[in-house]
């Protein structure tokens, strides 16, 4: 069979770049190695300076909100993995927490501790990945290789827990499916003991590096007003002078029992964001040390439950399903028809590695959510590029996109 001719015209014919005012329109993306995904930027240039930036997104729009309206609640959990695929468990957790708030479930303490461990491991993984890719974009290949090495250790731990490297689905509505494996704590402790030295290695390579400082300092400055107005959250907000961390201000799980501080800066430039990310990894390590003690306390107090007890919404433990008739019936109904939460709506925000991850669920008492809105932090962190890029030069675009830490599964959903 002969090959089919395509109808696509050369792309430069679609935009008029040859204009009277000597303005050049540069098309950046949607498949650009340093765009961290499928970001397309239309940049209006005067010489090398950007006068207007127009981010174009939607190249990874997969219709997750529509999928949610056609799925039972438990079925949607694996789909949340693919939102912020750098830190899947944090998305699982955000969704699980929203449904738990909707139906009013109380999660057992041991499950809470395990969830916190997973969340903080995911945060370190995400920040390491951020560091690796941003450093690679700016040209620091060594940091890329170093950070990926450490990330693989964490992936091994997670893989031992749930079997997947990237798309975990490690958190269920009402708890966690499994207890942590035997080697988990030992591996985690080994990693945490080495982490400060690793972070110091990265900082030795970057903090006083002339190129790194030139690309980072005084570049991409976001004022406090702009960051609030654009709905920035997470490290983007904290680097611009607002010390707002949902783990601290509206504590969920056991975050009110652990000691940690919220790093923030009032500089607002790329370098401030870099410092906030590095400091947050240290704080996460601090939390992880405390969760290990909390886990041992759970073991000591014989708190073995991992899933909430709510027969209307959550299947019974496997042992009960296999031995007791009523549990088996409940399980069958929950798997085939799904749980039916009460009528009402809920908006729950959690602090994901990127910022505030919110799930708005409107339930009409059926097994499918009537409306589910995913509030992903990266969506607005991409939008801020409209106001942030004008005035900067082309090389700054790469470092600014790098430090905003956007993930396109989350932006486009």
Partner 1 sequence: MRAYTPKDNVQAKPYYTDRFYVAPQVPKQAVESDEVFAADLEAIKAKFEVSDAYIQVGQMVVYIHAKDNYGVLELLKDELQYTQLTEMSAIDWLAKENKFEIFYQMLSMNKRKRVRIKMFIENGQAVNSVEKLFRSADWSEREMFDMFGIEANGHPFMKRILMPYDWQGHPLLKTYPLQGDEFAAWYEVDKIYGKEARDIIGPELRDPARVDRYDSDRFARLGHEVPKGTVITGDEPKIEQSYQEEGGVFMIKKFDKESSVVIDDPQR
Partner 2 sequence: MAQHKINYTQDGGLPVALTSIDKIVNWGRSNSLWALTYGLACCGIEMMASGASRFDFDRYGTIFRASPRQADVMIVAGTLTKKHAEFIKRLYDQMTEPRWVISMGSCANTGGMFNTYATVQGVDRIIPVDLYLPGCAPRPETLQYGVMLLQKKIRANKAGNAQKPKRLM
Q: Which stretch binds partner 2 (CB under 8 A): 6-14, 251-259, 286-294, 360-368?
A: 6-14
Q: Is 93 in the site for partner 2 (CB under 8 A)?
A: no
Q: Which stretch binds partner 2 (CB under 8 A): 75-83, 251-259, 310-318, 338-346?
A: 75-83
Q: Is 15 in the site for partner 2 (CB under 8 A)?
A: no
* Alpha helix stretches (DSSP H) within 82-182: 88-103, 109-138, 141-162
Q: Which stretch binds partner 2 (CB under 8 A): 161-169, 315-323, 348-356, 391-399?
A: 161-169
Coil, helix or strand for 172? Answer: strand
End-to-end Cα, the chain, rounded Å: 38
Distance CA 57, CA 361 (A): 24
Q: List the one residue out of 173, 106, 178, 175 whose CA is nearest residue 340.
A: 173
Query: For binding to partner 1 (CB under 8 A), which residues are involved?
Result: 1, 4-8, 57-58, 61, 63, 65-67, 69-71, 101-102, 104, 152-153, 156, 187, 190-191, 194, 226, 228-231, 242, 244, 249-250, 337-338, 340-349, 356, 358, 360, 362-368, 370-371, 373, 375, 379-380, 383-384, 386-387, 412
Counting Cβ atoms within 10 Å, is residue 187 exposed (0-12), middle (13-18) or buried (19+)? Answer: middle
- Among 17, 58, 329, 337, the residue binding partner 2 under the rule CB under 8 A is 58
Q: Is 37 in the site for partner 2 (CB under 8 A)?
A: yes
Q: Which does 161 bind (CB under 5 to 8 A by kind): partner 1, partner 2, none?
A: none
Q: State the nearest-atom distance from the C-beta of 243 to partner 1, in Å.
A: 9
Question: Facing residues of 363 across strands?
Answer: 344
Q: List the one residue out of 209, 169, 208, 155 whose CA is nearest residue 88.
A: 169
What are the C-alpha distances in Å from 7 to residues 4, 10, 11, 269? 10, 10, 12, 44
Q: Which does 311 bind (CB under 5 to 8 A by kind): partner 1, partner 2, none?
A: none
- The tally of CA atoms less than 13 A away on the side-chain side of residue 192 is 20
Distance CA 217, CA 382 (A): 20
- In the bound state with partner 1, the residue whose beta carbon lies nearer, of 74 and 363, is 363
- In the bound state with partner 1, the residue whose beta carbon lies nearer, of 61 and 318, is 61
Site for partner 2 in 115-134 (CB under 8 A): 129, 132-133
Distance CA 199, CA 131 (A): 10
Q: State the nearest-atom distance from the C-beta of 4 to partner 1, in Å.
A: 5
- In the bound state with partner 2, the residue whose beta carbon lies nearer, of 133 and 227, is 133
Q: Which stretch binds partner 2 (CB under 8 A): 60-68, 190-198, 246-254, 378-386?
A: 60-68
Residue 114: count of CB within 10 angstroms of its CB? 26
Coil, helix or strand for 372? Answer: strand
Token pair, residue 241, equals 């002078």
- Among 93, 130, 144, 184, the residue binding partner 2 under the rule CB under 8 A is 144
Phi and psi, residue 74, nearest 5°: -70, -30
Instruction: Please tell me the total number of residues recorded for the chain in this structure.
Output: 413
Q: State the nearest-atom distance from the C-beta of 300 to partner 1, in Å.
A: 28
Site for partner 2 in 277-336 (CB under 8 A): none
CB contact burial 42-57 (16+ within 10 A = b; e otherwise): ebbbeeeebeebebeb
Q: Is 13 in the site for partner 2 (CB under 8 A)?
A: no
Residue 230: count of CB within 10 angstroms of its CB? 20
- In the bound state with partner 2, the residue whose beta carbon lies nearer, of 63 and 344, is 63
- Among 18, 48, 106, 152, the residue binding partner 2 under the rule CB under 8 A is 152
Q: Which does 285 bind (CB under 5 to 8 A by kind): partner 2, partner 1, none?
A: none
Q: Is 189 in the site for partner 2 (CB under 8 A)?
A: no
- In the bound state with partner 1, the residue whose beta carbon lies nearer, of 99 and 216, is 99
- In the bound state with partner 1, the residue whose beta carbon lies nearer, of 23 and 156, is 156
Q: List the one residue out of 403, 75, 35 whose CA is nearest residue 219.
A: 403
Q: Which residues bind partner 2 (CB under 8 A)?
A: 1-4, 6, 8, 11, 30-33, 37-38, 58-63, 66-67, 78-79, 81-82, 85-86, 129, 132-133, 144-146, 148-149, 151-152, 165-167, 408-409, 412
């Amino acid at each position: 069979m002969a090959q089919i001719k395509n109808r696509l015209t050369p792309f430069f014919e679609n935009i008029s770049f040859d204009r009277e005012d000597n303005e050049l329109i540069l098309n950046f993306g949607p498949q650009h190695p340093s765009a961290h995904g499928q970001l397309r930027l239309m940049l209006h240039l005067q010489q090398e300076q950007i006068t207007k930036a127009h981010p174009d997104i939607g190249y990874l729009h997969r219709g997750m909100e529509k999928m949610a309206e056609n799925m039972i609640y438990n079925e949607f959990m694996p789909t949340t993995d693919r939102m912020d695929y750098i830190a899947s468990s944090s998305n699982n957790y955000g969704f699980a927490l929203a449904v738990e708030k909707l139906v009013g479930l109380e999660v057992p303490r041991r499950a809470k501790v395990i969830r916190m461990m997973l969340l903080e491991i995911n945060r370190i993984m995400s920040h390491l990945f951020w560091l690796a890719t941003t450093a690679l974009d700016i040209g620091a290949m060594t940091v890329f290789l170093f950070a990926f090495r450490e990330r693989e250790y964490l992936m091994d731990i997670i893989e031992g827990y749930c079997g997947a490297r990237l798309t975990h689905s490690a958190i269920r509505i009402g708890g966690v499916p499994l207890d942590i494996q035997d080697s988990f704590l030992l591996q985690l402790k080994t990693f945490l003991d080495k982490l400060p030295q690793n972070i110091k290695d990265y900082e030795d390579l970057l903090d006083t590096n002339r190129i790194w400082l030139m690309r980072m300092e005084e570049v991409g400055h976001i004022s406090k007003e702009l960051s609030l107005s654009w709905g920035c959250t997470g490290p983007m907000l904290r680097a611009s002078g607002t010390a707002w961390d949902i783990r601290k201000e509206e504590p969920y799980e056991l975050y009110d029992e652990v000691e940690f501080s919220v790093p923030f800066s009032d500089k607002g430039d790329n370098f401030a964001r870099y410092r906030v990310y590095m400091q947050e990894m240290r704080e996460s390590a601090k939390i992880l040390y405390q969760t290990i003690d909390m886990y041992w306390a759970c073991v000591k107090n014989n708190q073995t439950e991992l899933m909430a007890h709510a027969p209307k919404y959550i299947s019974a433990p496997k042992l009960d399903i296999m031995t007791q008739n009523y549990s088996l019936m409940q399980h069958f109904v929950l798997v085939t028809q799904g749980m039916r939460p009460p009528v009402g709506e809920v908006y729950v925000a959690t602090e994901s590695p990127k910022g505030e991850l919110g799930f708005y669920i409107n339930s009409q008492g059926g097994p499918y959510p009537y409306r589910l809105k995913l509030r992903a932090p990266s969506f607005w962190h991409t939008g801020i590029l409209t106001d942030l890029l004008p005035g900067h030069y082309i090389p700054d675009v790469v470092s600014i996109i790098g430090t905003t830490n956007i993930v396109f599964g989350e932006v486009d959903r």
